[in-house]
Homo-oligomer: A and B are copies of this chain.
């Protein structure tokens, strides 16, 4: 739980200052004035006392134990000071000083030194180059932020300190509370993974919200986040996800931001909700922090204004939420209790003169309705609207219910008091219906993730030894690219069917093989020296007769020999022509932080044109592989459209799983591209036509 940061019994402020306006003054003042109960030791060799606390020249001079050091001195002195902290037995240090990795190579070296010192003494570091930590549970504000946020159940961490200040300011006025609030700075030691782990069992935290620019240990992040997401809701902004953004990240902190595909897959697989802006992060966080999870995607909308109700309905449909019909009993109850002109269809329009009671009746009725999983209550300030009483009734209904209730009090000054009442009842309010719906949809996505069973890997009986031999052979020859015939053997060894193929030394042998396979066949030159066969006339397709095969063979040997004088030509491959089926592809790339990223999409020119790709991080289980197949737009095509036959989706899933196993078994494979992979009708399986494989 990182007690040294979240529950220290004694804190030293190294670089405490007597002068208001200085960071060393602000931090000490923050530590003192927000109710922290532990011992506080300002460290400043030139002062006797600051803000009523006795000063010490160094941590060594402090008589008692110290758990946490806040370090605010110029970067060139931090290493020596950190050694003193280590000698003193201090277990945690927050280094707020800047001038490290973000300032260039010299700073990077100094930062490495800090980490080495910390390891030596068994210390944990936060920062450097950070704003500090605020812990509302310990009432400790160990930061130079202005103000102390309210207690709440959101634990927040940010790679941008400035964002922390803006966010705290917003949180103060929007009454958003936090349990822990961490500025990660350069993440020299403690990083997002450290805090995710620490907060996993934290009883004061329901939501972990994060602003991240780059994740170094992508695989570990994914593993830990997958565990933590079963206990808490993790909501993260990952910035730098476009080219322009990634350039900005790199000039900002010198970190490489990794591929968007990898982040997308990692977040999705580990249940991390992605927020696109600070606004989304706030909107989603307060929903999860304050309300129970949405257990059923059928929503009711209650409103005193038709227009916003319609906008909410539009937003629900776009987000995949349903506007359910109410049960007969509910319709009856509403019919009896509400004026005749009220629309009991969903959205339930209580009309412009709706009183608080009318809202109360409608909300309690729909919350009791088994067809309804959650409710959004829209209130526009009209002449007869009882803002505060309506808010109070919404709060009471919400308190009594296990279903999420969101407010959408639209307007500003007139509804402000109502929003305060909602806040006091832990009902989140959103200023427009679309934002309430987006938060509800985030709940839907998170619940669906939680409902998934943990992944279950199954292992196929494959010929791993054969692939070991092939890859070793390729590397032995100093090659990185695996040849066509070798790649086909790899596929066969992992149980992925390939077209029947034989190596013919001469034209007559080619004809014999063709007759064995059955016409039509393809003939392709076989040479380790020729990579792009098509370019040199080394591929002939659809050969339908012995004559055609014979001619193709001779022509090919002649042409390719002329094209590449010294080439080692083994002969020609005679290959089964695959007829029918649909072309898809399965590929893998290596991300520097997340390792292999697997992709699935339509093959051929359509696949290339439409950029319709599903990505996941291996290892895959059958559920995850099935998601990949079903996620692409082109799935409509594979599923069988307008009387078209359903493709063999099970065989596709099987291939993806086998490829995932291949990737796990042979980490030296850094890239592959199985394209086209032809899938036939249901029960007819697949054939992998061509595969490129690249080794490390």
Binds B, one of A33-41, A111-119, A301-309: A301-309
| 0/1 interface trace, chain A 322-365, chain B, CB 8 Å (1 if under) | 01000000000000000001010101010010000000000000
Docked complex Cα distance between A609 and B636 (Å): 5
Q: How far is the CA of A431 from the CA of B166 in the complex (A)?
A: 10
Say which one of A156-164, A195-203, A520-528, A676-684 lies at the interface with B: A156-164
A642 at the interface (CB under 8 A from B): yes
Other-chain residue from B159, B213, B279 in contact with A431 (beta carbon distance below 8 A): B279
For A248, A318, A411, the residue with the greatest tally of chain B CB atoms inside 10 Å of its CB is A248
Q: Does A433 contact B (CB under 8 A)?
A: yes
Enumerate chain B residues within 8 angstroms of A605, measured Cβ to Cβ: 637, 641-642, 644
Binds B, one of A233-241, A499-507, A662-670: A233-241
Whole-angstrom CA separation of A636 from B277 in the bound complex: 31
A561: chain B residues within 8 A (beta carbon): none
Smallest Cβ-Cβ distance to A437: which chain B residue: B277
- Complex contacts, A247 vs chain B, CB 8 Å: 313, 345
- Cβ contact within 8 Å between B313 and A248: yes
- List which A514-534 residues lie within 8 A (CB) of chain B: none
CB-based contact A252/B309 at 8 Å: yes
**A341 and B251 alpha carbons, distance in the complex (Å):** 11
Q: Which residues of B contact A317 (CB under 8 A)?
A: 242-245
Cβ of A311 and Cβ of B637 under 8 Å apart? no
Q: Which of A240, A306, A352, A611 has the most CB of B within 10 A?
A: A306
Residue A633 lies at the interface, judged by CB distance under 8 Å to chain B: yes
Contact A276 B434 (CB under 8 A): yes
Give the contact-size bracket for chain A: 35 or more
Q: Which of A237, A249, A383, A609: most chain B CB closer than 10 A? A: A609
**Least Cβ distance of A159 to chain B in Å?**
7
B608 contacts A641, CB within 8 Å?
A: yes
Question: 1/0 per position for A159-184, CB-CB distance to B under 8 A?
Answer: 11111011111101110000000000
Interface flags for A384-416 (1: CB within 8 Å of B; 0: not) read: 000000000000000000000000001111110
Interchain CA distance A383-B72 in the complex, whole Å: 15
Given A161-B352, A605-B644, residue A248 in contact with residue B637 (CB < 8 A): no
Query: Is there contact, CB below 8 Å, between A411 and B343?
Result: no
| Contact between B166 and A308, CB atoms less than 8 A apart | yes
**Cβ 8 A contact of A307, one of B163, B308, B608, B644:** B163
Majority DSSP secondary structure for residues of A touching B = helix
Residues of B within 8 A of A560 (CB): none
B307 lies within 8 A of A160 (CB): yes
Query: B residues within 8 A CB of A158?
Result: 307
Q: Are B637 and A308 in contact (CB under 8 A)?
A: no
Does the CB pair B383–A307 fall under 8 Å?
no
The answer to whether the Cβ of A144 comes within 8 Å of any Cβ in the partner chain is: yes
B-side contacts of A211, CB under 8 Å: 307
Q: A433-B277, A435-B279 are in contact. Are A310 and B239 (CB under 8 A)?
A: yes
A20 to chain B, nearest CB (A): 11
Whole-angstrom CA separation of A90 from B161 in the bound complex: 64
Interface pair A380/B349, CB less than 8 Å apart: no
Give Cα A309 to B160, complex, Å. 10
**In whole angstroms, how far apart are the Cα atoms of A642 and B162 in the complex?**
45
User: Cβ of A80 < 8 Å from any Cβ of B?
Assistant: no
Is A458 in contact with chain B by the CB < 8 A criterion?
no
On whether the beta carbons of B174 and A432 are closer than 8 Å, the reply is no
Contacts of A495 in B (CB 8 A): none
Given the complex of chains A and B, what is the CA–CA distance between A53 and B563 in angstroms?
103
Residue of B nearest to A434 (CB): B277
Residue A316 CB within 8 A of the other chain: yes
Residues on B with beta carbons closer than 8 Å to the beta carbon of A252: 306-307, 309-310, 343, 349
CB-defined contacts of A244 to chain B, threshold 8 Å: 313-314, 316-317, 323
Chain B residue, CB-CB nearest to A322: B244
A35 CA / B248 CA spacing, docked (Å): 52
A36 shortest CB reach to chain B, Å: 21
Determine whether A278 belongs to the interface, using a CB cutoff of 8 Å to chain B. yes
Contact with B along A625-664 (1 / 0, CB 8 A): 0000000011011000110100000000000000000000
- A308, B163: Cβ atoms closer than 8 Å: yes
A279 CB → nearest B CB, Å = 5
**Bound CA span A343–B78, Å:** 25
Are A309 and B435 within 8 A (Cβ)? Answer: no
In this assembly, does A23 line the interface, its C-beta being within 8 Å of a C-beta of chain B?
A: yes
* Contact (Cβ within 8 A) B249 A310: yes
In the A-B complex, the 7 residue pairs with the smallest Cβ-Cβ separation, listed nearest first, are A160-B307, A162-B305, A169-B411, A245-B314, A173-B412, A252-B306, A166-B410
A selection of 20 A-B contacts at a CB cut-off of 8 Å is: A168-B411, A169-B415, A211-B307, A240-B310, A240-B314, A241-B314, A245-B311, A245-B317, A248-B306, A252-B306, A277-B315, A277-B432, A279-B431, A279-B432, A605-B641, A606-B634, A608-B641, A609-B634, A610-B634, A610-B636
Beyond the given pairs A244-B313, A610-B610, 10 more chain A to chain B contacts, judged by CB atoms under 8 angstroms and listed by A's residue number, are A26-B383, A161-B352, A166-B410, A251-B345, A252-B306, A252-B310, A277-B315, A277-B435, A279-B434, A608-B636
